[in-house]
Amino acid sequence: MTRRGVLAAFAATALAAAPTFAGAAGFLRGAGDIRRIRMVSPRTGERLDTIYWIEGEYIPEALNEITLFMRDWRTNETRVIDRRTIDIMAASHNLLEAHEPYTLLSGYRSPATNAMLRSRSGGVAKNSRHLIGEAADLRLGSRSVEQIYRAAVACNGGGVGRYSGSNFVHMDCGPIRAWGR
């Protein structure tokens, strides 16, 4: 059996066991029984490597660490990062079989930061999911934007944007949709 076949079988089993998506975000294909997230922030110089979920239980201290790490670095403000977004990020990372941490370009954004970015770029949404702690903009040096995008889309867990010109992928836990080139 191929690796792809094993992943498909795991996904089908996990999704069949999930009663609803709202209660089953953790069953995203590739997420696993132990969920770990690794990121670096070029803005703050910080690194994060944490296990945030073990056998069906989120670890509150780890989620708090993730929220702090993904803060708006311009204002130092935080907002709780939605667990579903973290799950999508972790599942995508696992599907890519990447060993390096994600580079986090943007997690939570304060209204002031979002307004400033909107004034500089037409690609920033007025009601961005970044404002409510439901989105992340990420890159991996060892994987292309296309590879990361495809892994995130395969999770079928939310919005995935491909920004090839800026070398990052947007992941969020909103409605399932995909965009970009």
Sorted by where each starts, the structural domains of the chain and their CATH numbers stand as 3-180 (3.30.1380.10)
Ramachandran assignment for 156, one of left (phi > 0), alpha (psi -120 to 50 degrees), beta (any other): left
Per-residue pLDDT of the chain (181 residues; tens, 9 = 90+): 444 443 344 433 333 333 333 333 444 545 558 999 999 999 999 999 999 999 889 999 999 999 999 999 999 999 999 999 999 999 999 999 999 999 999 999 999 999 999 888 877 888 899 999 999 999 999 999 999 999 999 999 999 999 999 999 999 999 999 999 8
What whole-number distance in Å separates Cα of residue 103 and Cα of residue 145?
12
State the pTM of this model.
Answer: 0.81
